[in-house]
Amino acid sequence: MPAKYIFLDMNAYFASVEQQLRPELRGRPVCVVPLEADTTFCIAASYEARFYQVKTGTRVREARRRAPGLVVVKARPRVYVEVHQRILEAVGRVLPVEEVLSIDEMRFALMKNEQPRARQLALELKEAIRREVGPWLRASVGIAPNRYLAKVATELEKPDGLVEIRKEDLPRALWPLSLRDLYGVGRRMEARLHRHGVYTVRQLTSLSCATMRRIWGGVVGERLWRSLRGEDLPPVPTRRRSVGHSHVLPPELRTPAGARKTLVRLLHKAAARLRRKGYWTRHLTVYVIRQDGPTWTAKTWLEPTQDTRRLLNALTGLYDKNPPADPFKVGLVLEHLLPERDTSPPLWPEARRGYQLSHVLDEINSLYGPDTVYFASMHGLEYAGEDRIAFGEIPHLEAARKPQPRRHWPGR
C-alpha cells in the first residue's frame, strides 16, 4: 500500500523558537517557563537540556540542579503563534495542509500522483522550514499509509527525523516503540494493558482484534487494531465535552484576591472560546490548588448559557462564599456542553441582551485584537491576561485547523 499521509512534528518547539530568535541560546540547555519563579515547571526544554534529563514538567529548581548553565526563559506565546503561522505559510508552498493538530503538529494528505514522491516531498517540507523560518526549527516527519501511523512514525526518530512506515513492514516497524509512544495509550491505559500482561508494542500487536476490543471496552480497540495494521480508516467525528483554562499564579497574585482576579480573566477566555467553538454550557467547576492544604473546589449547575455575564455571576458567587487561602494554581471548567444547533437563543429580554452583547464583544475583539473590549471586572489584570498556549489550542488561529482546498503549485 502506498504512503498516503505525511505528519510533521516540530521538535522542542517553544525552546527551538527561542534558540532561533536568540542566537546566544543556541547550543545551550534552555528551559521555557510560564513565569519567572523556581517553584514553577518547564513547559518546554531544548534537546541540550534533555541531555540532562530536563523535560516538560520538571520543576525549575530541579532543572537548574540537573543542567549546569541552564538558561530559563519566560514563554512568549504570541511569538510562538506568529512563528507557527510562518511555518504554515512555508510548508503550504510545498503541500497544502490537511489539518493543523496543534501548534507544533500538522498533517498532509497526498494525492495519488504525489504518493510515489512522498519521501522527497517530506524532505522539501523540512527544507522549506529551515530556509524560510530558520535552521534551528527542526521537525520529525512521519510517512505512512494512514493518519495514525504517520503520527506514530514521528516518534521513531527524534530530533530532525524522517521515517516511513510501509504496510509490508508492519508490525515489526513498530516494535522499537514503547506503549506510551502510541497515540491513545496514556498512563491509565498502559496500566490496564499491564494488567492484561501486555508490556511491549510487540506483545500488543500480537493480540487479536477481539481481545483489543475487550481491553478498550469497544470499537476504539478495534480501530486501533486495524490502524496498527495499516488500514486507512475514516476519522471519527468528535464532540467536545468541556472547555477549561488553568493558570499557575505568580508570587504577587498568590492571595485570595489575586486568585479571584485570575479566575475572572480565565472565565472571560473560556466563555469566548465556548462561543467560538459553537457550544453552550450547563455546568461550572472552579478549583484552586493550594500551597499548603487540600485543593479547593466549587461547582454549580446552570441553565444552558454562553453569556459571559451569567458565567461571571456564577463564578463570583461560588468563590466569594469561602475564598481559599494560600492559592498556588487556579482553574475552571465549563462542562456538560450542548452544540449550538441543539439550543435556541434565550427568550427573556434581559437574557437575550446578555447573549447578544457577548457575541458583539467577540466580533469587536476578532477585528481589533483580543481584549480590545471587555467587562470592567477584568480591568487591571495585565499579568493574568497574558496568553498561554496549550499544545492543542492555538490562540486566534482556529481557522488554520480547517482543511485547505487542494491547489496546484508551480513546479510540481
Could you list the active site residues? 105
Interhelix angle 219-227/209-216, nearest 10 degrees: 130
Work out the widest C-alpha separation in the chain, in whole angstroms: 66
205: Cβ–Cβ under 8 A, 6 or more apart, which residues? 170, 171, 174, 175, 228
- Provide the edge-to-edge strand list for the sheet that holds 139-144: 99-102, 105-109, 5-10, 139-144, 162-164
Contact criterion met (CB below 8 Å) for 283 and 318: no
Interhelix angle 256-276/349-368, nearest 10 degrees: 90
Quickly list H helices, 154-255.
Answer: 187-195, 201-205, 209-216, 219-227
Rounded CA separation 79/75 (Å)? 9
Count other C-beta atoms under 10 Å from residue 207's C-beta. Answer: 20
The set of cell numbers assigned to 206 is 500480537
Interhelix angle 308-321/349-368, nearest 10 degrees: 100
DSSP structural state of residue 321? H
Contact criterion met (CB below 8 Å) for 157 and 138: no
Cα→Cα distances 326→38, 102, 205, Å: 17, 34, 48
How would you classify the pairing of strands 71-74 and 105-109?
unpaired
Rounded CA separation 302/180 (Å)? 38
